């Protein structure tokens, strides 16, 4: 149980275009999901917290108008990178918060490799 998927697993796009990445919790409902970005040999950096039915909460330094997050259902959050530039090329990982009794644990997706040319 507690499987999280991401789609696509990798994407190449041209500079100036927009790319949408999906994160799904397959066997549990998640009112809270998280989006991370990871550059080569660097740590995962939290970009934003996605809340079902409300606006996302962005970390300091993350442009909310550039990284649009929509958490429209209890099993799906999407991250749209608008007007992508080469510096947005990175590995994007989502996680979904599973609540079981008093336990809370994040389960991570397999990641999406974005390359902007």
Partner 1 sequence: KQEVTQIPAALSVPEGENLVLNCSFTDSAIYNLQWFRQDPGKGLTSLLLIQSSQREQTSGRLNASLDKSSGRSTLYIAASQPGDSATYLCAVRPATNSGGSNYKLTFGKGTLLTVNP
Beta strand spans in the chain (E): 4-7, 10-13, 19-25, 32-38, 44-51, 57-58, 67-73, 76-81, 90-100, 103-108, 112-116
Tell me whether residue 9 or residue 18 sits nearer to partner 1 (CB atom).
9
Structure tokens at 69: 């997050």
- Minimum Å gap between C-beta 64 and partner 1 is 16
Tell me whether residue 64 or residue 83 sits nearer to partner 1 (CB atom).
64
Q: Which residues lie near partner 1 (CB under 8 A)?
A: 4, 6, 32, 34, 41-46, 49, 57, 91, 93, 95, 97, 104-111, 113
- Minimum Å gap between C-beta 112 and partner 1 is 10
């Amino acid at each position: 149980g507690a499987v999280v998927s991401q789609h696509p697993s990798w994407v190449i796009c041209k500079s100036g275009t927009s790319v949408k990445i999906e994160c799904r919790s397959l066997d549990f409902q998640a009112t809270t999901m998280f989006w991370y970005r990871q550059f080569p040999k660097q740590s995962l950096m939290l970009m934003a917290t996605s809340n079902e039915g409300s606006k996302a909460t962005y970390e300091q330094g993350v442009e909310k108008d550039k990284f649009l997050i929509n958490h429209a259902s209890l099993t799906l959050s999407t991250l749209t990178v608008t007007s992508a530039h080469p510096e947005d090329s990175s590995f994007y990982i989502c996680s979904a918060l599973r609540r079981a009794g008093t336990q809370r644990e994040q389960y991570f997706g397999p990641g999406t490799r974005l390359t902007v040319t």
